[in-house]
Amino acid sequence: MALSRRTFSALAGSAALGFALGGSGGPGAPAAYAARTVPTGPAPAPPRADGRRHAIGHDQYSLVVDGRRLVVWSGELHPFRLPSPSLWRDVLEKMRAHGYNTVSVYVAWNYHSPAPGKYDFTGVRDLDLFLRTAAETGLYVILRPGPYINAEVDAGGFPGWLTATEGSARTTDPTYLGHVDAWLTAVNRIVRRHQHTDGGGTVLLYQIENEYDGHVADPSGPAYMSHLYKKVRADGIDVPLFHNDKGRNGYWIPGSFDTGGETGKWLYGFDGYPAPTQTPPDWGDFGIGGLKGGATASPRTPGFVPEFGGGWFDPWGGVEFGGKGYAESRRTRDAAYERRFYLTNLANGITLHNVYMTYGGTNWGWLPAPVVYTSYDYGAAIDEARNVTPKITPMHQLGHLLQRVPDFAKLERAADVHADGLKTYHLTNPDTQAHVYVLRNDGASEVTSTLKTHKRDGGDEIEVTVPAKDARLITTGLSLGKRKLRYATAQPMAVFTAGRQDIALFTGRYGEMAHLVLECPSEPFVQRLDAEAAWVYDQGVLHVTAPLGQGGLTRVLVQRGESDTPLLLLFADEATSLRLFPYDTPSGTLLVYGPALLRHAKLSGGTVQLTGDTVGPSGVEVWGPRGITSVTWNGRPVQTRVGLSESLVATSDLAGAPKPALPVLSGWRRKAENPESAMAFDDSSWVVADKKTSFSTTPVPDGQPVLFADDYGFHYGDVWYRGWVDGDLADLESLSLAYSTGTQGMLMAWLDGEPLGSHRMPVPDTKTVRQGSWAATAEFSVAGLRKKWKKESEEASQNASQKERREQRRHVLSVLVRRMQHDMDGRSLDTHKVARGLTAVTFKGAAPKVSWRIQGETAPDPVRGPLNNGGLYGERQGWHLPGFADGGWEPAELPRADKGMGVTWYRTGFKLAVPAGVDASVGLVLEDDPARAYRVQIFLNGWNLGQYINDVGPQHTFVLPNGILRTRGANTLALAVLSDGTSEFGPGVVRLELLGSAAGGVPVTSVDSPGR
């Protein structure tokens, strides 16, 4: 019986859908890997919250969504590192436009939980809003809510209060699990409304733990994983679950722990961060195989890398990148690096790929872990200021390729082939017989070689050139709509139908001569729509050549011959490819060429309504469904003509973006603080520090009270101590203050209001760059004070009563500790519980009694959250807030050259008038002589946007996110300057700098506005 195309497609889709449902079932359901009949075909439509049921299954090749194969091309973005919800949409739209179909997000427990049992998902912490925005953007979501995330955040994402609780983290300890269950209940209450399975949203996958390798060999590990699995399922999460293995260990593969009888809904994933100097590894089909082989550890689930290096993080002092910061990370892990490593992954059967990071963002406030400073730019493809960098190129090209060329969702290793001087991979699609070749040059020089393709008649010999430390993708046998590609030296980026013609887009390096060979049994009618192209037809084959980039986009139209459907061939160099945006609409696929960014496209009658960004003046050209007659750009009509390839071409350029002028920062006011150092300061409201025991992993010194800040509820930022000392100190020789901090912690001490001095932890070097906790003892001589005390004691004994003499013998030891952050506990050893703050105080030459009081941050800011504020006097008094009355402060001008030890505040205001419709990204730059030792906490409109350490670096520019920054209004800038007294201190030069400007953008709402 003959079947129509529609009938066959319906039957094939139903069979695959049945498999996907079976593979996702409960006990007794067939395993998902068993269905090898899922056909190669179009990917699922872009996801949205459509209210319909969707099936998510898998086999060994890929995920299968509603019977269609899905290659996951994902980028990591952390909403907590971009505390302006309006800008979430901006970055998500940039990701979608540049080829990503998925966004991966951590949910940080510490960001949402200021105290046990309290969870805040409002304002900048609105997870529901983020998931809605992702669905509206058309992106799947990989959700990673911990409980442990690492992520280079304080305590690996554990809330500060957890450091002072009983029980071992990341085990089956009942106290810990009680807190975990409460956290997951709060998170999952939101997540289950956004699952793709029931059409509520686009959550596709859910991670239950991260890089968990501390208890694999003992029973507590599997039991812990089982508890998390069952808890998440009990909360109504029914999408597939996974864990991210810390390297290629084969930990937590399917069957390694109890899932309550459920099968087919657990994926094995692993991460990898190879250095640019390393040879790209084979972590899959071409590798060593077995449990240590990456994707081969779980051969019945698709290859999954939940984290693959899209950059790397930098520590205080910048030793990772030679003091050059993230610019050097981006330079060394550039587009060629990405192409070489990611194509190797593709060759190794990895079809779920997440780039960590795609947008890094900012470690604002006290968010960063000890191993990083404020910026988390990461050298990512989208920089901290939200600018798309040239590094996005391979992500853009591969992302669109994997979405629009279905052959790549089902590849198998094929017969080995060779090309001299190159590492060569050969794969084929068993359904379509298309062949894929990855040619990798691991050498320091460009290589030109010959690839002999696999074909029954002996194959073609293709001359290919691969630059040093780069890779190239060659394909043969691909369907270009109704026609067949024999081979192309340029890489395919997209194949689709728009209107009455098929469109195939190919890309490569600028200046290369692309050579495309098309099988044409009948001679076609060929038109060069751009003069750069050339073609020749010979013996059933059409040869087309085009020099890439020399004329921008090169167009060649192939008509008639064996097909009535025209084929439009487009050739683009890398820069041009970034201005080509395929976009699916309910009426069909559009292709837009020209602007810097396409955000949305909508068809309304015959009008194509486009929204997006321009940076410089640019043209615009649109291919789309039949019947389109006009174009609008950001709501304004665009005059067009009809092109030779049935496109609409703008007759004049779209306007570029102006560069808004920024004001000079002036009108500063100044006020010194640290009244806590004075004897007369009233500390009666402070917490008495008299505990005898602690749950910290740091031992409590014999005979001394617990002085650890976390034990008294102070988890973030600076902490003050005041010790009332009873006893005669006339013979005191020195004081020893033992303390423990994160990286770059420091301490300052005063006795009876007199400065004793300061101590700071060393700058990390190559050996200590990963060290999360630092302990030291600062010893201060009091020789200069002994004579004063002796004289005062003699006078008191002659002129005062016994009671007065006793009161005059009282002394006050004041200590300020910049505690920095908690360790991340990456090895599951409770290292997040290592003490922060003072740990012990000893007196040499005297044995006085000391009673301690402690003060840190006040109650969490209801808008900015618990990670915003520390315990400085000015923070406790609201000196950082916009509404604070600083009229009584003394006027000041910068730069400054002050002397002394302690904290001084500076405040000023400034106004911006960025034109409407312009997205301007602004940074604050601090510069000074690196010999001057001081630190600055930066507060913009009350938001703690980071810490600058003048003599350590490497960061000098701090991004001011729009929404916190009012680009059309008044702003308040406050700087809390901490000097250790060892040198003159500033601030030096403090100025605003324009980091990027685009015409377009997204509407931005102030994060402090009601209804945010």
Give the pLDDT confidence score for residue 798 in this predicted structure.
65
- pLDDT tens per residue across span 173-209: 999 999 999 999 999 999 999 999 999 999 999 999 9
Tell me the per-residue pLDDT of 210-255, one tens digit each, with 9 for 90 and over. Answer: 999 999 999 999 999 999 999 999 999 999 999 999 999 999 999 9
* pLDDT confidence of residue 792: 67
The Cα–Cα gap between 727 and 936 comes to: 38
The torsion of the CA quartet 487, 489, 493, 494, rounded to 10 degrees, works out to -30
CA distances in angstroms from 639 to 645, 653, 656, listed in the order given? 18, 10, 17
Burial class (CB in 10 A: 0-12, 13-18, 19+), 619: middle
pLDDT band at 784 (very low <50, low <70, confident <90, very high): confident
Residues 326 and 279: beta-carbon distance below 8 Å: no
Closest CA to 65 of 51, 86, 37, 45: 45
Distance CA(99)–CA(388), nearest Å, equals 13
| pLDDT at 801 (0 to 100) | 58
Contact between 936 and 898 under an 8 Å Cβ cutoff? The reply is no
Report, as an integer, the average pLDDT of 289-310. 97
pLDDT at position 1008, please? 80
Q: Is 890 exposed, middle or buried (0-12, 13-18, 19+ CB in 10 A)?
A: exposed
How confident is the model at residue 998, as a pLDDT?
A: 98
- Res 1009: pLDDT: 53
- 3-state class of 790 per DSSP? helix
- The CB density around residue 415, as the number of other CB atoms within 10 Å, is 8
| pLDDT at position 11 | 30
Check pLDDT > 50 for residue 16. Answer: no
In this structure, are strands 423-428 and 435-441 parallel, antiparallel, or unpaired?
A: antiparallel
What does the pLDDT read at residue 23?
34
H-only helix segments in 348-430? 393-404
- Report the DSSP beta bridge partners of residue 861: 865
pLDDT at 17: 34
Confidence band, pLDDT 50/70/90 cuts, at residue 788 = confident
Residue 713, token pair as written in the block: 């509820």
Q: Give the pLDDT band (50/70/90) at residue 534.
A: very high
Those residues with Cβ within 8 angstroms of residue 623's Cβ, 6 or more apart along the chain or in another chain: 498, 499, 501, 503, 568, 590, 591, 645, 646, 647
Residues 6 or more apart whose Cβ sits within 8 Å of residue 271: 211, 244, 245, 246, 247, 305, 306, 307, 308, 356
Over the chain, what is the mean pLDDT?
93
365 vs 840: CA distance, rounded Å: 28
pLDDT in tens, 863-920: 999 999 999 999 999 999 999 999 999 999 999 999 999 999 999 999 999 999 999 9
Question: Left if phi > 0, otherwise alpha if psi is -120 to 50, otherwise beta: which for 456?
Answer: alpha
In the predicted model, is pLDDT for residue 10 greater than 50?
A: no
Three-state DSSP class for 450?
A: strand
Q: Are 196 and 143 in contact (CB under 8 A)?
A: no
Q: What's the rounded Cα separation, in Å, for the pair 938 and 975?
A: 5
Residue 316 has pLDDT above 50, yes or no: yes
pLDDT score at 26: 34
The answer to whether 248 touches 270, Cβ cutoff 8 Å, is yes
- pLDDT above 70 covers a percentage of the chain that reads 94
Report the Cα 913 to chain-centroid distance in Å.
30
Q: Give the predicted TM-score (pTM) of the model.
A: 0.95
pLDDT in tens, 742-765: 999 999 999 999 999 999 999 999
Shortest CA distance to 503 belongs to which of 432, 577, 434, 555? 555
Residue 19: per-residue pLDDT: 35
Residue 277 reports pLDDT greater than 60: yes
Tokens of 522: 């009948």
**Res 459: pLDDT:** 81
pLDDT digits (tens, 9 = 90+) for 606-634: 999 999 999 999 999 999 999 999 999 99
Q: Taking a C-beta distance cutoff of 8 angstroms, is the pair 170, 148 a contact? A: yes
Residues 6+ apart with CB under 8 A from 660: 912, 913, 914, 915, 918, 920, 967, 994, 997
Supply the pLDDT for residue 805: 53
Q: Residue 273: phi, psi to the nearest 5?
A: -135, 65
Q: How confident is the model at residue 22 (pLDDT cuts 50, 70, 90)?
A: very low
Token pair in block for residue 318: 């910048």
φ/ψ region of 957 (left if φ > 0, alpha if ψ in -120 to 50, else beta) reads beta
**What is the per-residue pLDDT for 458?**
60
What distance in Å separates the CA atoms of residue 876 and residue 504, rounded to the nearest whole number? 62
